[in-house]
A and B are shown apart, each in its own frame.
Chain A
Amino acid sequence: MRLTLRALISHGRVARRMGLGPESRINMLRNILTGLVRHERIETTRVRADEVQFYAEKLIDYAKKGDTNEKSMKMADFWLTEKDLIPKLFKVLAPRFENQPSGYTRMARLPNRENLDRAAMAVIEYKGNPFPPLFPVKQDNELNLVNQLLKGYREEQAQLSATESKS
């Protein structure tokens, strides 16, 4: 190959390099994906979470095709190193996302790790998991003044519409 400066400058290159090489990168992502399928919410570095998000969604797409599909079974077998998760993938995760076309995972950024490396961390999860939400919705108290006034207003509107529909 031509030993130009282009090979050294990585402007615009989108493919990430992780670990020792491409095979090492795939193995790392395989381990992370197995952990994600087992626990449904994991905490890793931001870059790894971003990489695994693509593979996690592709895996669900394959699982939706059904476990009788040859290709899907081969994919599941390759990507999940712990083989007891293959039935979980086909029987629990795939039916959960039946009606969704895409967007099965959610990633949220976390503060940097406390170690010396101060790595940027993220949490990635499959949607519909049983844990408390990552972004809790702040509910206004039902009993505060504005809500009580609005409750009275709504009840009156309901009464008025009921009397109107009767007459």
Chain B
Amino acid sequence: MACGRACLILQRRLATSAAAERVSAAEVRSWRSTLFSKEQERQRSLYPRIEKIEVTMQGAGVQGTLLVMNKGLSTPYSCSRHLTDWHVSSAALALVDGEPWHLHRPLTRSCSLTLLTFKDANPQLPNQAYWRSCAALLGQVLEGAFKEEYNVELLRIPEVPVTAGAFCCDFVLDPQLDAWIPTEESLRSFTRDANQLIHQNLPWEPLEVAPPVALEIFSHSRCKQEEVEEKAAQSPNGTVSLYRCGHHVVLAGGPLVGRTGLCSQYEVTALHTVGEGPWGLQRRAQGLSLPVNLTAHHTVWRRLKQRAEKLVEIDSSVASETETTPTSSEATSSSSQP
């Protein structure tokens, strides 16, 4: 009898220690979010006094406008708020001295600013940024969609050209879910979650961090740490760009668009199993989305959705925006150029 009691107590002790080893997903999220906020505060405190910089606007209608903004505090979004409401709602990406710049990233020196929209003469940069942001949103939805006991590992966001028909997010699920095949209902619930995030109109907060800080933020996930090291090796000045939306921190190869509210039609179209990777059974979630001022008619949307349900093959040699044929040999990207 006492022996049975001792066994129970031992079991309970062992169970608690086992649970303490597995950090729950919510804790991981809050850990990453608090570290992100701390780093954000630290970077903001680098400019204790307000210094002024001069920003010259470029583009149709605002060519040559001079704005006097605060150094390290003002963002292209705040510059657009000085112009008109249309500039605020239509701006997707900014070009600072010819360099793609996230809308909410602070400006650090006097420069020339161009606000890019989806209806420009050459919207390729905003299109690519939009595709990347939709993939990041899909990753966020997937992370929060499964129950606490199942672990979701998001892999890198692959650089898919827009002509491929769908944006992808590669991820690895808990080994317990290896046999799980997603049904239409589950895809619809992912779409509903994504639409909720879009409705909340959350901004993507950018942050350029040094690799050690990024490694600390992603200390719970080995594959994310590898991705950080790869990105740090590739970037010209050794920093890694992180983006936070709500409580989810994501690593991206290029700038994202300003807010989730810019997407209007968003649908998670398919979830394919790609194969066994170094981290487990790799799956690819695909989706289709269009921005607010470029919606499609429902007949067109249906056909594009049918195309987006097919598996998008990612060629490891894709550098320019070339179409990937469905019959080409499959090769998951290991070092794709952003």
State yes or no: do A and B come from one complex: yes
CB closest chain-B residue, reference A147: B294
- Are B165 and A145 in contact, CB atoms less than 8 angstroms apart? no
- Are B323 and A155 in contact, CB atoms less than 8 angstroms apart? yes
Q: Summarize A's interface: helix, strand, loop or mixed.
A: helix
Q: In this assembly, does B290 line the interface, its C-beta being within 8 Å of a C-beta of chain A?
A: yes
Q: In this assembly, does B42 line the interface, its C-beta being within 8 Å of a C-beta of chain A?
A: no
- Are A141 and B165 in contact, CB atoms less than 8 angstroms apart? no
- Are A152 and B165 in contact, CB atoms less than 8 angstroms apart? yes
Known contacts A149-B304, A150-B304, A159-B325; A143 and B163 CB within 8 A of each other: no
Q: In this assembly, does B300 line the interface, its C-beta being within 8 Å of a C-beta of chain A?
A: yes
How far is it, in angstroms, between the C-alpha of A148 and the C-alpha of B164 when the chains are bound?
A: 9
How far is it, in angstroms, between the C-alpha of A149 and the C-alpha of B291 when the chains are bound?
A: 13
- Are A141 and B325 in contact, CB atoms less than 8 angstroms apart? no
Q: In this assembly, does B246 line the interface, its C-beta being within 8 Å of a C-beta of chain A?
A: no
20 residue pairs of the A-B complex, CB under 8 angstroms, read A141-B120, A141-B123, A143-B124, A144-B118, A144-B119, A144-B127, A144-B294, A145-B162, A145-B294, A148-B127, A149-B165, A150-B300, A151-B163, A152-B164, A153-B165, A153-B307, A155-B163, A156-B165, A159-B325, A163-B327
For residues 293 through 314 of chain B, which have their beta carbon under 8 Å from a beta carbon of chain A?
294, 296, 300, 303-304, 307
- Are A141 and B304 in contact, CB atoms less than 8 angstroms apart? no
Known contacts A152-B163, A152-B164; A146 and B123 CB within 8 A of each other: no
Q: What is the size category of the interface that chain B forms with chain A? A: 20 to 34
Other 9 A-B pairs with CB < 8 A, given A141-B120, A144-B127: A145-B127, A145-B291, A148-B163, A149-B162, A149-B163, A150-B304, A152-B163, A152-B165, A156-B326
Residues of A near any B CB (own CB < 8 A): 141, 143-146, 148-153, 155-156, 159, 163
Q: Among A143, A145, A150, A152, which residue has its beta carbon within 8 angstroms of that of B323?
A: A152
Chain B 116-136: CB-based contact to A (< 8 A → 1; otherwise 0): 001111111001001000000
Known contacts A149-B163, A150-B300, A152-B162; A143 and B123 CB within 8 A of each other: yes
- Are B118 and A145 in contact, CB atoms less than 8 angstroms apart? yes
For residues 151 through 171 of chain B, which have their beta carbon under 8 Å from a beta carbon of chain A?
162-165
A141, A145, A148, A152 pick with most chain B CB within 10 angstroms: A145
How far is it, in angstroms, between the C-alpha of A144 and the C-alpha of B124 when the chains are bound?
A: 7
How far is it, in angstroms, between the C-alpha of A150 and the C-alpha of B290 when the chains are bound?
A: 12
A148, A149, A153 pick with most chain B CB within 10 angstroms: A149
How far is it, in angstroms, between the C-alpha of A152 and the C-alpha of B118 when the chains are bound?
A: 18
Q: Which residues of B contact A149 (CB under 8 A)?
A: 162-163, 165, 288, 304
Nearest Cβ distance between residue B299 and chain A, in whole angstroms? 12
How far is it, in angstroms, between the C-alpha of A155 and the C-alpha of B323 when the chains are bound?
A: 9
For residues 21 through 39 of chain B, which have their beta carbon under 8 Å from a beta carbon of chain A?
none
Q: Which residues of B contact A152 (CB under 8 A)?
A: 162-165, 307, 323
Q: Which residues of A contact B165 (CB under 8 A)?
A: 149, 152-153, 156
Q: Which residues of B contact A155 (CB under 8 A)?
A: 163, 323
Nearest Cβ distance between residue A53 and chain B, in whole angstroms? 38
Q: Which residues of A contact B164 (CB under 8 A)?
A: 152
- Are B124 and A146 in contact, CB atoms less than 8 angstroms apart? no
For residues 313 through 338 of chain B, which have their beta carbon under 8 Å from a beta carbon of chain A?
323, 325-327
Q: Which residues of B contact A141 (CB under 8 A)?
A: 119-121, 123
For residues 7 through 25 of chain B, which have their beta carbon under 8 Å from a beta carbon of chain A?
none
A156, A159, A163 pick with most chain B CB within 10 angstroms: A156
Nearest Cβ distance between residue B22 and chain A, in whole angstroms? 41
